[in-house]
Structure 1
């Protein structure tokens, strides 16, 4: 399948193909829901989405690899070295790194603004020094770089014929933010074990919760009310992103709608689990994934008959 995608995208250089293939492997292994959604894109587009994911995953693993024996200072030096090399490679338009090689190619082919790459790397750096966020606005500073820019990077690849990029971008940013907020809610316990809280501390205070309360691992009334509040706010962000789908090329819409429904399903899963996210990781079932993706695939194949903008 990967070879067919690379052939469809016109990627012929052996080293470049190997880089794209490695990014695809990272996506299939670590981003199963997202990987499923990307299969609804035309084959010629998938490698570029996979490259963006592979780059993000590689940087994130430097920070959050639980098997790593590196100290935070050592991780910071490794991440800074990687970030410097990425920026230098983007400057020269080529890379020898097995992951960055496909990123550089993707950025050049689709005219992706480099400031989004910089913002992402800056947010990854924050994870090594920041363990909590006082306000929602403070959290959004981090989320812009960790998630909103992912949506913004995707816009040119997804295409939006006849619609200016600046019209599409706010919806794409909101979708990235919604995905991230849903993950924060699902991963409260997991993040806490890494020493981090991604729910605004001001929200915790409103519901009578603090770090020590969460660390007890008991989902009581205050914790349930806190999580219900965060879910409601996340759904508001999801709703604000939805109108943007119709601005995309028809061949891209089903991919994004599927991602929307499956990531949004994380919130439903948390509710069904009675908000038990402190000692486990809830997930969307394979049955639900199939129920969403299979009908969407048929619609996506039909939509590919619409001529692309480029």
Structure 2
């Protein structure tokens, strides 16, 4: 039987391996809160891996959903992620709704490979990313959850739009184009341009249009950051700044999102954390 310390350690390893940006930002939190974040990330990662890498993703996601239902009924499997998550649910006043919506969003990736409108894309962004922010609110700001809900949703949308803009080339290899058809038509870009990785002036204009949508949402989310307790505020603002910096990294590589994956260097991440926290904030 995996003990709780081992369970959290494995959740941390999953987080550190798969999202250095997320891991770096939330390392600023107090230990118990930090561990809870790792457990929730591991939950989300488990579903994501089923959808992107599972041999039989439909069946595996269905099985995962049954495990989730069993978890909510009080049963805990001998699995580090479920063990850690059980401890999280015992410590914090967790809401299961965003977890269900996350599963809904991952199901969309199995059946929906194109989006006609921006509003349809935003629903997807909410399900796979804004839900994460809502999952984290009971940990980060237990006394201001209602006031911060819209901010968390906006930040999730911004981050997912950033992911989409960074990963256009990677997604197309999986047969997915997340850029809405209405936006592509507006800028005269078609699927062939995407499949062949053509960085034209029209593609750049389209990319910048969606980047502005993301940046507006970062700005909207940040207006309410003052409601977070200090340690959580630094972590959330750090995550937002580091993700937003991915957009600048894409610009620096001349919008080549087809052959190169943009990233924010460790030096840049450290500088951003020092910028928001000052010299007295531990960033190592």
Measured against the shorter chain, the TM-score band is over 0.9
Q: Does 1:16 align with 2:4?
A: yes
Question: In structure 2, what is the equivalent of residue 115 of structure 1?
Answer: 97
Q: Any idea what the Cα deviations from partners look like across 1:263-293, whole Å, max 9, x if unmatched?
A: 0001111111121112221111222112112
Contact 2:274–2:281 (8 Å) recurs in 1: no
Residues 16/244 of structure 1: CA separation in 2 closer, same or farther (3 Å cut): same
Runs of 4+ in 1 over 6 A off after TM superposition: none
**1:84-233 counterparts in 2 under 5 A?**
84-92=66-74, 94-159=76-141, 161=143, 163=144, 165-233=145-213
User: How far apart, CA to CA, are the structure 2 residues paired with 1:172 and 1:299?
Assistant: 27
* Other-structure match for 2:61: 79
Question: d(CA) in 2 for partners of 1:134 and 1:104?
Answer: 39
Deviates more, 1:101-110 or 1:50-59: 101-110
TM-score w.r.t. structure 1 length?
A: 0.86
Please identify, of 23-32 and 208-217, the stretch whose mean Cα deviation from structure 2 is larger: 208-217
The 1:226/1:134 distance shift into structure 2, 3 A limit, reads same
Partner residue of 2:223? 243
1:83 Cα offset (Å): 1.4
| 1-structure distance, mates of 2:103, 2:274 | 35
Indicate the RMSD between aligned Cα atoms, in angstroms.
1.7
* Partner in structure 1 of residue 273 of structure 2: 293
Aligned residues: 281
* TM norm structure 2: 0.94
Matched, 1:34 2:16: no
Match of 2:251 among 260, 271, 279: 271
Deviation at 1:108, TM superposition (A): 3.5
- Partners of 1:231 and 1:267 within 8 A in 2: yes
The 3-state SS of whatever aligns with 1:184 is helix
Displacement of 1:16 in angstroms is: 2.3
Report how far residue 298 of structure 1 moved: 4.2
Distance in 1 between residues matched to 2:220 and 2:29, nearest whole Å: 23
Give structure 2 stretches of 5+ with no counterpart.
Answer: none
- Cα distance in 2 between the residues matched to 1:106 and 1:168: 20
User: Is the Cα contact below 8 Å between 2:12 and 2:35 reproduced in 1?
Assistant: yes
